[in-house]
Homo-oligomer: A and B are copies of this chain.
Amino acid sequence: MESMRIECIAIGTELLTTRRLDTNSVWLAEQLADLGLGLRLKTAVGDRREDLARVIQTALDRSDLILVTGGLGPTFDDFTKEVFAEILGAPLVEDAGSRADIQAFYEARNRVPPPANFKQALIPGGAEALRNPLGTAPGVFWEDPPGHPGTRIILFPGVPREMKRMWVDHALPRLRSLAGRPVHTLRLVVAGVPESTLDQRIQDVRERHGHLDWTILASLTQVELLARGEDPAALDRARADVMPLLGEDLACIGGGNLEDAVLDLLKRRGETLAVAESMTGGLLAARLTAIPGASAVFLGGATVYSAQAKAALLGLDPGTLALEGTVSEATSRRLAEAVRAKVGATWGLAVTGNAGPGAEGDASLGAVFIALAGPAGTETRNLRLPGDRADVQLRGTAVALDLLRRDLIIDQKY
């Protein structure tokens, strides 16, 4: 059987600018893959009615399943449903349940719905409204629309949170019967190793298990190695072959990222962490506290973006600081030790550096000093990180977390 043609359409002028990436389609592609369904193509189109109409017409001509995100809102530039209804010759009809949901949504917030919001309760005749528990825009499920038997169309709101919830509540149950054999994924997260090094290291294993679908995904903070296949036993064999090649570079198996690995290790050891951040300005703490349950082991820290804060919050001596330089190995060491002692954590982790835009005193752009103070003493790393300000800050947090992770996986306690 010819495989199903599936495409995603993301609607919104902002998706064509640099301000916003279409992450909805990426997420949907992953969900489809879990069902053993492949996405064939995806399109992003602006809020121009004429362009949207062309894209929708093309999709109806070539695809069996069309997943659309965006353009369901209450404002003048939201007209996804109108365009579908027009092309397919089905008038929009108010859905009583959706109207009641919108009314209830506002009442729960002690507000009166603006009249324009009821526009969202209009659904193409013959289609099914999908309830949105997180917002006011219902989705739409449309099977066998006029002139297109066998086609399925699902319209989701563009807000990622709402789209994801509605995928789980409504789309998944309706698509499950279409799913082929489920595809399983082996996911290994590696830290502290460049993508090309990892690629070379695993090349033989990858070729030996060539029937699997291998991917390496590098980001600024870690590298993910993915293998997909229908046979779980084949994935287990590949995993057994690849694991010895990763050694201490392996941060996670299955879910999670570098920061989850660090928090999990701390929990398992019953230890705690405090951080002192200069160059990363709170980002290291923010990455850790983005994880639910971080509070069990992450006690907090100081964002010491000025000499003033280094003295006030962590008691560093301004004279010594001036002498040693704010961006220096000595200062990173003092910060790590001070935050550890002051907060009373097992580990103190500190980052100083210059993320740019220009050189800063003696510190060249990208110069980074990381220190980890622990029960057995303090170690430091001096690095030169590439990229722009955001890159250097993010890479800095990754190097710091990985330094701690490597200390934590040493099994024996001191």
Contact = CB atoms under 8 A, between A and B. Distances in A.
Interface string A18-35: 111111001101100100
A151 to B, nearest CB: 16
Copies in the assembly, this chain: 2
Given A43-B42, A45-B41, A309-B274, A114 B290 contact: no
Given A200-B114, A300-B302, A302-B303, A21 B26 contact: yes
Given A116-B200, A286-B286, A305-B298, A17 B44 contact: no
A306 B289 CA distance: 11
A42 B58 CA distance: 14
Interface string A387-400: 11111010000000
A306 B30 CA distance: 35
21 contacts: A14-B217, A16-B41, A17-B26, A18-B226, A21-B21, A21-B22, A41-B44, A43-B44, A75-B196, A114-B200, A116-B200, A117-B196, A280-B289, A282-B289, A283-B290, A286-B286, A300-B303, A300-B310, A300-B313, A303-B303, A306-B343
Given A16-B39, A281-B294, A313-B313, 17 more contacts: A16-B29, A17-B30, A17-B33, A20-B217, A42-B43, A75-B196, A76-B214, A77-B216, A275-B303, A277-B285, A281-B288, A282-B289, A299-B308, A300-B309, A302-B303, A312-B343, A312-B344
